[in-house]
C-alpha cells in the first residue's frame, strides 16, 4: 500500500498532455484559457457620457450657480448609437445620453438634474469640475493590457469582458474526454421501477456523471457491465477505442472473486500505476496507464467512489485543463473529540455549524460507513486525520468544503 500523497504524485507525473484549441466565444463557457489574453483595443473605445445631460465646455459654465446660471445654446443631440455631427462651439451645448459619444469641443457633461431647458437654451445651474461625468477613452484599460492569465476559467464575467473588446475566438484547453464504466451484477438502473430484494440501485453512475461535469470534463459515454472478466475486458477496449483520455471504472477493484477491473485493464494493455492506498475510505483504489490514456478503478462503495474521485481523479482532470484544483477550506473549532486510531489516512465527513462572530463549530457526521451515502450527502465537507491524530474539543481544524 502507498500513501495518499505518493499516489497523487504518481498520478501528477502521469497526466497526459493537455489539448489546446481555439474555440468560438459562444462555445467557450466553462473552459480554461490556454494563453494569456490581452486587450485588442482600449476601453472605453471612445470618450462618452456617464449621464443623461448636456455636453458643454468647462470654460463656458465654470462657477455657474442656480442664481447666476450659465446659459448655453442647444445646437444638437448626441444619442447612444447616433453621434452629434459637429463641434461644440463657444456658449453652446449638445444634449447627450448615457454612453453617447462626447462631441468634439466638449470636455464636460452636466447631468439633466443640474440644468433647466427652455426655448432652445439650457441653463447650467451648477457644475463641479472640468471633465465631470465624462468617461475618457482608455480610462479602464489601454490596448495591449493583460486582461486574463492563462489557466483562468471562462464563465459569465470573463466572457462578457472578452465580448466587449471584440474577441471572437478564445484559446482554451480542450475539455478532457471521460468514459465511465460501471461494474456490478447486483446493479439496476437508478430509474428502474422494479427492483428485486437482492439488487441495489446504481447510484454511482449519476453521482460520477455529476462529479465529472463539475470538473468541466466531457462525459462521452457511460456503460454498465456485469461482474464478468470477458465483459469488462471488452468494455475497457471499447473505452480505449472511443478516444477517451480518462476511463473511470466503478466497482470490481477489490480482492473478491468477482472483482475483475485490474485484470481486465491489464489484459487491455494498461500498466498498473498503483493499487491500494493507505486511506479510509477508498483503500482499493487502482490506476493504470496505456500510452496517453489513464484508467481509474474506483471502489464500488459509493462514499469511497466519491472521495477517491475528489482526491485522485479531479486533480488529473484539472491538470488536463491547465489548472490546479484546491478545495476551499474553512478554519473551524472542534466540538467533540475526534481521533484516528487506525493506520491509514482517514477522511472524516463533517458538518459545520456557523455561529455569529465566532469560528464555525465542527462536528462529525454520525454514521461514517463507506456504503452510507448520507455521510457525504448530509456533510458540508471533510477533514483529514493522519494515523494517531487526536483532536481535542476547542482545537482548530481546517475543513475541506464539498
Ligand atoms: P465493489 O467495489 O464492486 O465490491 O462494490 C462494493 C459495494 O458497493 C457493494 O456493496 C456494491 O453493491 C456497492 N456498489 C458497487 N457499485 C455500485 C453502484 N454503481 N452504485 C451503488 N452501489 C454500488
Ligand atoms: Mg462489484
For residue range 328-348, list pLDDT tens digits in order: 999 999 999 999 999 999 999
CATH 3.40.50.300 fits 4-18+175-319, yes or no: no
User: Residue 57 in contact with residue 106, Cβ under 8 Å?
Assistant: yes
Confidence bin at 307 (pLDDT 50/70/90): very high
**363-381: average pLDDT:** 95
pLDDT band at 248 (very low <50, low <70, confident <90, very high): very high
Give me the DSSP letters along 244-299: -SEEEEES--SSSTT--HHHHHHHTTPEEEEE-BSEES-TT-EEEEETTEEEEEE-
Of the candidates 189, 317, 301, 201, which has an alpha carbon nearest to the alpha carbon of residue 250?
Answer: 301
User: pLDDT digit string (tens) for 34-68?
Assistant: 999 999 999 999 999 999 999 999 999 999 999 99
Q: What is the largest CA-CA distance in the chain?
A: 97
The whole-number pLDDT of residue 193 equals 93
Query: 361: pLDDT confidence band, cut at 50, 70 and 90?
Result: very high
**DSSP β-bridge partners for residue 285:** none
Give the pLDDT mean for 216-240: 98
**Shortest-distance Cα residue to atom 10 of ligand 1:** 301
Segment 198-222 mean pLDDT: 97
pLDDT at site 305: 98
* Mean pLDDT, residues 153-175: 97
With bands split at pLDDT 50, 70 and 90, how would you rate the model's confidence at 13? very high
- SS3 for 198? coil
pLDDT of residue 314: 98
Residue range 48-135, CATH number: 2.170.190.11
d(CA 338, CA 109): 65
215 Cα–ligand 2 center, Å: 25
DSSP 136-186: -TTSSB-TT-EEE-TT-B--HHHHHHHHHTT--EEEEEPPPEEEEEEE-TT
Q: Tell me, what's the pLDDT at 336?
A: 96
User: How far, in Å, from the CA of 183 to the mean position of ligand 2?
Assistant: 6
Q: Indicate which residue's Cα is closest to atom 5 of ligand 1.
A: 300
Q: What is the rounded CA–CA span in Å between residue 69 and residue 215? A: 62
Mean pLDDT of 89-101: 98
Q: Give the Cα separation of 50 and 96 in Å (integer).
A: 10
The model's confidence at residue 158, banded by pLDDT at 50, 70 and 90, is very high
Write down the pLDDT at residue 274: 98
Q: What is the chain's mean pLDDT, rounded?
A: 97
Backbone angles phi, psi at 33, to 5 degrees: -65, 135
Give which of 205, 179, 212 is closest to 317, Cα–Cα.
Answer: 212
Query: 301 CB under 6 A from ligand 1?
Result: yes
Domain 20-44+139-173: assigned CATH number = 3.90.105.10
CATH topology assigned to domain 329-401: Beta-clip (2.40.340)
Give the span between the Cα atoms of 175 and 178, in whole angstroms. Answer: 9
CA of 300 to the centre of ligand 1 (A): 4
Read off the DSSP letter of residue 300: S
Looking at the DSSP assignment, which residues form a beta bridge with residue 73?
92, 121
Q: Kindly report the protein residue whose alpha carbon is nearest to atom 17 of ligand 1.
A: 300
Ligand 1 centroid from CA 183, angstroms: 8
Question: What mean pLDDT comes out for the span 197-206?
Answer: 97
What is the 8-class DSSP label of residue 45? S
48 touches 135 (CB < 8 A): yes
User: Residue 190 corresponds to which cell in the numbers above?
Assistant: 437508478
Residues with CB under 5 A from ligand 2 (ion): 184, 251-252, 300
Question: Tell me, what's the pLDDT at 140?
Answer: 98
3-class secondary-structure state, position 396: strand
Residue 58 CB partners (closer than 8 Å, separation 6+)? 107, 108, 127, 130, 131
Mean pLDDT of 377-385: 98
Domains of the chain: which residue ranges? 4-18+175-319, 20-44+139-173, 48-135, 329-401
Residue 233 has φ and ψ, to the nearest 5°, of -60, -45
CB 186 less than 6 A from any atom of ligand 1: yes
250 lines ligand 1 (CB under 6 A): yes
C-alpha cell at 288: 493504470
Banded model confidence at residue 285, pLDDT cuts 50, 70, 90:
very high
Amino acid at each position: 500500500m502507498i500513501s495518499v500523497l505518493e499516489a497523487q504524485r504518481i498520478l501528477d507525473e502521469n497526466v497526459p498532455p493537455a489539448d489546446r484549441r481555439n474555440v468560438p466565444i459562444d462555445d467557450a463557457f466553462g473552459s480554461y484559457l490556454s494563453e494569456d489574453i490581452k486587450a485588442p483595443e482600449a476601453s472605453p473605445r471612445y470618450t462618452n457620457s456617464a449621464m443623461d445631460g448636456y455636453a458643454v465646455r468647462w470654460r463656458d459654465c465654470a462657477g455657474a450657480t442656480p442664481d447666476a446660471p450659465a446659459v448655453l445654446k442647444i445646437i444638437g443631440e448626441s444619442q447612444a448609437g447616433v453621434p452629434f455631427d459637429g463641434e461644440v462651439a463657444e456658449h453652446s451645448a449638445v444634449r447627450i445620453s448615457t454612453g453617447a459619444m462626447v462631441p468634439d469641443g466638449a470636455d464636460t457633461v452636466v447631468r439633466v438634474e443640474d440644468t433647466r431647458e427652455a426655448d432652445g437654451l439650457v441653463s447650467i445651474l451648477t457644475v463641479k469640475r472640468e471633465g465631470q461625468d465624462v468617461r475618457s477613452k482608455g480610462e479602464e484599460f489601454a490596448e495591449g493590457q493583460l486582461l486574463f492569465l492563462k489557466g483562468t476559467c471562462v464563465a459569465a464575467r470573463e466572457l462578457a469582458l472578452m465580448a466587449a473588446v471584440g474577441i471572437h475566438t478564445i484559446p482554451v484547453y480542450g475539455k478532457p474526454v471521460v468514459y465511465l464504466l460501471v461494474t456490478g451484477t447486483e446493479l439496476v438502473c437508478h430509474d428502474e421501477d422494479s427492483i428485486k430484494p437482492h439488487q441495489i440501485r446504481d447510484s454511482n453512475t449519476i453521482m460520477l456523471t455529476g462529479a465529472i461535469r463539475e470538473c468541466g470534463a466531457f462525459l462521452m459515454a457511460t456503460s454498465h457491465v456485469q461482474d464478468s472478466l470477458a465483459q469488462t475486458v471488452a468494455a475497457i477496449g471499447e473505452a480505449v477505442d472511443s478516444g477517451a483520455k480518462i476511463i473511470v471504472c466503478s466497482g470490481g477493484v477489490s480482492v473478491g472473486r468477482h472483482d475483475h477491473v485490474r485484470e481486465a485493464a491489464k489484459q487491455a494493455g494498461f500498466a498498473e500505476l498503483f493499487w491500494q492506498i493507505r486511506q479510509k475510505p477508498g483503500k482499493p483504489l487502482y490506476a493504470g496507464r496505456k500510452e496517453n490514456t489513464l484508467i481509474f478503478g474506483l471502489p464500488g462503495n459509493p462514499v469511497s467512489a466519491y472521495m477517491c474521485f475528489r482526491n485522485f481523479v479531479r486533480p488529473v482532470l484539472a491538470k488536463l485543463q491547465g489548472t490546479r484544483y484546491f478545495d476551499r477550506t474553512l478554519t473551524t473549532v472542534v466540538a467533540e473529540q475526534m481521533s484516528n486510531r487506525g493506520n491509514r489516512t482517514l477522511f472524516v465527513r463533517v458538518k459545520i455549524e456557523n455561529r455569529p462572530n465566532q469560528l464555525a463549530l465542527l462536528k462529525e457526521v454520525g454514521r461514517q460507513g463507506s456504503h452510507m451515502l448520507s455521510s457525504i450527502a448530509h456533510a458540508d465537507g471533510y477533514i483529514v486525520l493522519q494515523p494517531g491524530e487526536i483532536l481535542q474539543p476547542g482545537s482548530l481544524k481546517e475543513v475541506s468544503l464539498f
